[in-house]
Amino acid sequence: MAKIILVSLIGFALLIPATASAQVLINEIAWMGTTVSSNDEWLELYNASDQPVSLEGWTLQAADGSPAIDLNGEITAEGYFLLERTDDDSIPEIPADLIYSGSMGNTGEHFQLFDEVGNLVDQAPFAAAWPGGDNTTKQTLERSSVDSWATSLEPNGTPKAQNSTADEPEEPECPECPACPECPECPECPACPECPECPECPEVPDLNTTIEVTADQIPELVDGQKISLSGTITKRPIFFFGRLVEIDGLKTLILGNKFPRLWPRMSVEATGRLLQTPVGPVLIVYDASDIAVN
């Protein structure tokens, strides 16, 4: 068993980095260059996970062999990684994270992103034709969702920023506030700040105040409530760490050294503490003086 648990833990640990790396995406491709020069090509990766990912040993390569880029460095959680061709002048106002060599074809490329052990993490399979981008206006090809691409709305694209056609996250609906988990504090709902505060907390019953009840009310009472019950003995008393009887079907344990003489069909009034147990409710009468024969 210990061996099975150990193997399971190791397998789980190995899955953690794989899950993070699987969320690194090829995010934007400036195959047409920029409005300054058609040679100013660049690419962008995006880390959709909530943890940084090391790119040491990773490769981004076209199926026809150019470009073939050896990656290094780190991409931050929910961050971008900018690759510029030949020098850092493709986007002068934004420093490149990596400089590469090799040009992209204007008709299309099939890019594949591999991690350090050779797993295919993502791809842009556009060898036949680019699905977007404009060679005249220099609008880039950008990812609009995980499974779709589109022409950027911006000339020169959106390097190291959210894509112009990306799906906007939907605003979460504000659900009804749940009942207060703790009293007397009523925290605001966690879903969104517009939520109203939770309803007023219910009053906490005073367990030490004796309340008069009938047997049919017992299931509704809280554990530990002090009660007074009037009823009829329905089962012959037996000794069980005290005297155990039933009053209108409610098991009642009478503690102490002296016990009243009790018989079936007697009318009694008992005062004690109610316990809600897994086997049913039990009334604990702590002294024989707390049970009276009517």
- The tens digit of pLDDT for each residue in 180-238 reads 454 444 444 444 444 445 555 556 678 889 999 998 899 888 889 999 999 998 887 77
Q: Spell out the CATH class of 2-155.
A: mainly beta
pLDDT at position 132 is: 96
Q: Where in the chain is the domain with CATH 2.60.40.1260?
A: 2-155
Across residues 36-60, what is the average pLDDT? Answer: 95
Q: Quote the pTM value.
A: 0.53
Q: Residue 263 corresponds to which tokens in the numbers above?
A: 């018989």
SS (H, E, C) 1-27: CHHHHHHHHHHHHHHHHHHHHCCEEEE
- The tens digit of pLDDT for each residue in 25-35 reads 999 999 999 99
- The tens digit of pLDDT for each residue in 58-110 reads 999 999 999 999 999 999 999 999 999 999 999 999 999 999 999 999 999 99
Could you tell me the fold of the domain covering 211-293?
A: OB fold (Dihydrolipoamide Acetyltransferase, E2P) (2.40.50)
Q: Give the three-state DSSP class for 111.
A: strand
Please determine, for residue 4, whether its predicted confidence score (pLDDT) is greater than 80.
no
How far does Cα 141 stand from its chain's mean position?
33
pLDDT at position 222 is: 86
Please determine, for residue 8, whether its predicted confidence score (pLDDT) is greater than 50.
no
Please determine, for residue 131, whether its predicted confidence score (pLDDT) is greater than 80.
yes
Q: Give the three-state DSSP class for 262.
A: coil
Across residues 140-148, what is the average pLDDT? Answer: 90
Strands (E), 115-242: 120-126, 139-145, 148-155, 211-213, 226-239
Across residues 114-142, what is the average pLDDT? Answer: 95
Q: Identify the helix (H) or strand (E) that includes residue 250.
A: strand 250-254
Please determine, for residue 41, whether its predicted confidence score (pLDDT) is greater than 90.
yes
Q: Give the three-state DSSP class for 261.
A: coil
| Residues in Cβ contact with 194 at an 8 Å cutoff, skipping those fewer than 6 apart | 174
Q: Where in the chain is the domain with CATH 2.40.50.140?
A: 211-293
Region of poorest pLDDT, from 70-79, 147-156, 157-166, 190-199: 190-199
- One-letter amino acid at 59 equals T
Please determine, for residue 239, whether its predicted confidence score (pLDDT) is greater than 90.
no
pLDDT at position 238 is: 76
> At residue 112, what are phi and psi to the nearest 5 degrees?
-130, 135
Q: Give the three-state DSSP class for 85.
A: strand
- The tens digit of pLDDT for each residue in 253-277 reads 888 777 778 888 889 999 999 999 8
Across residues 146-173, what is the average pLDDT? Answer: 82
pLDDT at position 194 is: 47
Beta-bridged to residue 275, according to DSSP, are 282
Residue 262 near residue 233, CB atoms below 8 Å? yes
Q: Which of 111, 25, 105, 39 minimizes the C-alpha distance to 68? A: 111
Interatomic CA distance for residues 154 and 129, integer angstroms: 21
Residue 70 near residue 80, CB atoms below 8 Å? no
Across residues 131-143, what is the average pLDDT? Answer: 96
Q: Identify the helix (H) or strand (E) that includes residue 293.
A: strand 291-293
